[in-house]
Amino acid sequence: MPDTAAAATADVAALLAAAADQGPGDTLRIVLLASIVGGVLLAWFLLRGYRTDGTDALGGEDGTAGTGGNTGRDANA
């Protein structure tokens, strides 16, 4: 029976050593995915202020302020 325990311990040690040699695969994959998602969200956030389709986030279709819109938006333009 001691031979089985020693063999199992040696197998576990070999598996742990092999797993340690894999490198930063999972961490690098997570960082890459998070940076891509962050870049998409940043681009969406920055580009939504440059809309030119005539709609305002709070206003109506004709560019005038809707209910609750900012009526003094172009007062100093």
Secondary structure letter of residue 49 according to DSSP? G
Per-residue pLDDT of the chain (77 residues; tens, 9 = 90+): 556 666 666 777 777 766 666 778 889 999 999 999 999 999 999 999 887 766 555 555 555 555 555 555 656 65
Token pair recorded at residue 21 = 């040699």
Planar angle of CA 60, 39, 73, nearest 5 degrees: 25
Amino acid at 11: D
Q: Report pLDDT for 63.
A: 54
Q: Supply the pTM of this predicted model.
A: 0.41
Q: Report pLDDT for 55.
A: 59
Q: Report pLDDT for 32.
A: 97
Q: Report pLDDT for 7.
A: 62
Closest CA to 73 of 57, 46, 43: 57
> CA 55 to CA 62: how far, in whole Å?
7
Contacts for 66-73: CB closer than 8 Å, 24+ residues apart: none
